[in-house]
Chains A and B, each alone.
Chain A
Amino acid sequence: MSDREMARQQDSETAGTSNLIKRSQLVTLSSRQRVISLSPYLISFIALIIALLLSIAIGAVAINPIEAIKILLSRVPFVHLTPDWSATSETILLSIRLPRTVLISLTGAALAGSGASYQGLFRNPLADPYLIGVASGAGLGAVIAMAWHWPSSILGFFAVPIAAFIGALLTVAIVYKLAQVGRTTPVTTLILAGVAVGSFATALTTFLMLQSSNEVRRAIAWMLGGFALGGWEPVIAILPYISIGLIVLVALGRPLNVLQFGDDQAKQLGLNVDRVRLVIVIAASLVASAAVAFSGIIGFVGLAVPHIVRLLWGSDYRRLIPLSIIGGAAGLLLADILARSILAPEELPVGIVTAIIGAPFFLWLLRRAKLQAFW
């Protein structure tokens, strides 16, 4: 028996007397919690599926969702369907619509998942990869990599998120140091430090983009979050980073809850605070920078989505992070559908749509008197 098991054994013995009386209460409490916690996942999954179908269907060439599902099924091994759809639909779906939809889903999931994690890490409800400058830092890293050598091979595609990740980690370290006042990280200093460092990184990025003449137009569209890079390469390149990072963040929901009581209490409860913080900041920055690497800087998703989840279902990080991930994918898909539809056939960069919706939301949060109520 391991030490941990022995300790648990001892505990269960000391608590033995009360087990008899409390067992019934225990059961009712936990089964009720299970029922309540099911519906948020159901609701957010339904929202995600609707957003996915809309994203596949809507565009210059409309594709019927049922037809889209048939085309997708026909690609599954051992499923045989007689094609009753046009070859054009199939090409548009598989090489344009679908990679874009998957890229946007991953990006939205990454931004909202990392936003929720930064909020928990800094114990600050306004932390967001965009507002704390991490996205700009990642953008600078990505542009340095692209300006140096435009990715032409799949290996080159994998390198861009790494450069973005280095930029993001440097930024978060600088912003956090600048924002600290004693043992706390106040909202105001965090946002101010984030804006200042982010502006600096953005200025450097712009300078670099203007230097590298060939790709300027492409890069500017990229910076505004326009998903200008098409095809499956970006999706494949960010998938490992985002999935590993998000799995880590989802797994650390409970330690994030403990951190909400402050470093002292978390340590006194037995949490290795320094190590947990380091792992969370690395995972969140990895995820955020992978999102920025091929989708550009998209603001406010990491702020708005976790807040909506908090308002609906509370601030327990064990649920907040997975629900923000699902909601972030759905939310950014909807924003992208708007971006494609408002001036069709022209496309707006999705970053403009998220800013138009997200910035007023941010100001409303800032003005709200009882900011702590859901925190």
Chain B
Amino acid sequence: MLSINSLSIQLSSRIVLRDITLDVRQGEVLALIGPNGVGKSTLIRAASGILKPMRGRITINDQDVHQLPIDLRARSIAVVPQAVRLPESFSVNDTVLMGRTAYLGWLGHEGDVDRSIALEAMNRTNTLDLASRRIGELSGGEQQRVLIARALAQAAHVLLLDEPTAHLDLKYQADVLSLVRSLAHDQDYAVLIALHDLNLAAVYADRVALLSNGHLIALGTPEEVLTTEKLSPVYGLRISVFAHPENGSPWVMAANE
């Protein structure tokens, strides 16, 4: 379980996150939502151990993330960044194998165990057919799935994703998020995912955390958080919420003034 306790983060004299407390449990997808620049990515970077908190702490199974040695941390927490500006020349297979870095040390070489873990990760993310292709030849959706495969190769139990669907077509958005949800529900990963598309959060997240100006405004199921009253002030416009005609999940639209 990933626990964030009274976390405040300062970035070059600006306080970006204030007193955030939330838990991500094994087996659930928790989506971070909120307008651009609200601190979603900062929270992901802090939870991954990259950013040091000004106050508060982040623990994983009661161990402080920022106290853990860098390789042990990477064995517990895997991060899926946005698939932008990746080095193009590596093969998919080599890229996924880099997920084994935390187990190899500086001078280690991938062995058969690492290779079969990477193959399993590619298998789960449907990227096995791409194994010998170069990253630069892939579409955005394929690159994103490769990054998820790399994270799976880390054999961690917490997965952090920073807007993995930002530049993807509708089909790839659904592919990536279904995969993420099945990792939580079937493989017991604790998943924290930053999403700016509220309707995707409504469909794929078990719980939703709404951020505004660095504060945690609301935390709960999509039905509890995605309401006109909670969203409208945060986004600064009137937002209508309907029940989705097919599955009943909240369906969010900016109201036509």
Interface residues of A (CB under 8 A from B): 4, 7-8, 10-12, 14-15, 17-19, 22-23, 25-26, 29-30, 251-252, 254-255, 257-258, 260-261, 264-272, 276, 310, 314-316, 372-375
Q: Are B94 and A316 touching (Cβ within 8 A)? A: yes
Interface size on B, residues (CB 8 A): 46
Residues from chain A with a CB closer than 8 A to the CB of B87 are 260-261, 315, 375
Instruction: Spot the interface stretch: B21-29, B101-109, B237-245.
Output: B101-109
User: A17 to B187, alpha carbons, bound, how many Å?
Assistant: 14
Q: How far is the CB of B157 from chain A (nearest CB, A)?
A: 11
Instruction: Spot the interface stretch: B42-50, B177-185, B228-236.
Output: B42-50
Contact of A270 among B70, B93, B116, B136 (CB under 8 A): B70
Q: Is B62 an interface residue (CB 8 A)?
A: no
Q: Are A265 and B120 touching (Cβ within 8 A)? A: no
Residues from chain B with a CB closer than 8 A to the CB of A310 are 89
Q: Are A267 and B81 touching (Cβ within 8 A)? A: no
Q: Are A276 and B106 touching (Cβ within 8 A)? A: yes
User: A258 to B91, alpha carbons, bound, how many Å?
Assistant: 13
Given contacts A11-B117, A18-B123, A25-B119, A269 and B74 within 8 Å (CB-CB) = yes
Given contacts A22-B116, A272-B71, A375 and B88 within 8 Å (CB-CB) = yes
Contact of B98 among A17, A251, A261, A373 (CB under 8 A): A261
User: A102 to B146, alpha carbons, bound, how many Å?
Assistant: 45
Q: Are A270 and B75 touching (Cβ within 8 A)? A: yes
For chain B residues 208-237, which have a beta carbon within 8 Å of chain A?
none
Q: How far is the CB of B7 from chain A (nearest CB, A)?
A: 18
Q: How far is the CB of B133 from chain A (nearest CB, A)?
A: 13
Q: Is B149 an interface residue (CB 8 A)?
A: no
The contact sample of 27 A-B pairs, CB cut-off 8 A, is A4-B103, A7-B103, A8-B103, A11-B117, A11-B155, A22-B123, A26-B112, A29-B93, A29-B132, A254-B101, A254-B106, A254-B109, A257-B94, A258-B98, A260-B87, A265-B79, A266-B101, A267-B49, A269-B74, A269-B99, A270-B74, A270-B102, A270-B103, A271-B101, A272-B71, A316-B90, A374-B89
Q: How far is the CB of B73 from chain A (nearest CB, A)?
A: 7
User: A229 to B71, alpha carbons, bound, how many Å?
Assistant: 48
Contact of B106 among A18, A255, A260, A269 (CB under 8 A): A255
Q: Are B88 and A373 touching (Cβ within 8 A)? A: yes
Q: How far is the CB of B97 from chain A (nearest CB, A)?
A: 9
For chain B residues 160-183, which have a beta carbon within 8 Å of chain A?
none
Q: Is B252 an interface residue (CB 8 A)?
A: no
A318's nearest neighbour on chain B, judged by CB, is: B109
Residue of A15, A255, A267 with most chain B CB atoms under a 10 A cut-off? A15
Q: Are A267 and B109 touching (Cβ within 8 A)? A: no
For chain B residues 116-135, which have a beta carbon within 8 Å of chain A?
116-117, 119-120, 123, 128, 131-132
Q: Are B155 and A14 touching (Cβ within 8 A)? A: yes
Q: How far is the CB of A265 from chain B (nearest CB, A)?
A: 6
Q: Are B70 and A271 touching (Cβ within 8 A)? A: yes
User: A121 to B106, alpha carbons, bound, how many Å?
Assistant: 15
User: A302 to B100, alpha carbons, bound, how many Å?
Assistant: 31
User: A11 to B66, alpha carbons, bound, how many Å?
Assistant: 24
Q: Are A257 and B48 touching (Cβ within 8 A)? A: no
User: A276 to B106, alpha carbons, bound, how many Å?
Assistant: 8
Q: Is B154 an interface residue (CB 8 A)?
A: yes
Residues from chain A with a CB closer than 8 A to the CB of B18 are none
For chain B residues 67-91, which have a beta carbon within 8 Å of chain A?
70-71, 73-75, 77-79, 81, 86-90
B136's nearest neighbour on chain A, judged by CB, is: A373
Residues from chain A with a CB closer than 8 A to the CB of B102 are 269-270
Q: Are A30 and B115 touching (Cβ within 8 A)? A: yes
Q: How far is the CB of B127 from chain A (nearest CB, A)?
A: 13
Contact of A268 among B74, B112, B131 (CB under 8 A): B74
Q: How far is the CB of A180 from chain B (nearest CB, A)?
A: 14
Given contacts A18-B119, A22-B116, A257 and B73 within 8 Å (CB-CB) = no
Contact of B75 among A7, A254, A372 (CB under 8 A): A7
Residue of A268, A269, A276, A374 with most chain B CB atoms under a 10 A cut-off? A268
User: A276 to B107, alpha carbons, bound, how many Å?
Assistant: 11
Given contacts A7-B75, A254-B109, A26 and B115 within 8 Å (CB-CB) = yes
Residues from chain A with a CB closer than 8 A to the CB of B115 are 26, 29-30
Q: How far is the CB of A226 from chain B (nearest CB, A)?
A: 37
A315's nearest neighbour on chain B, judged by CB, is: B89
Given contacts A11-B155, A267-B70, A18 and B45 within 8 Å (CB-CB) = no
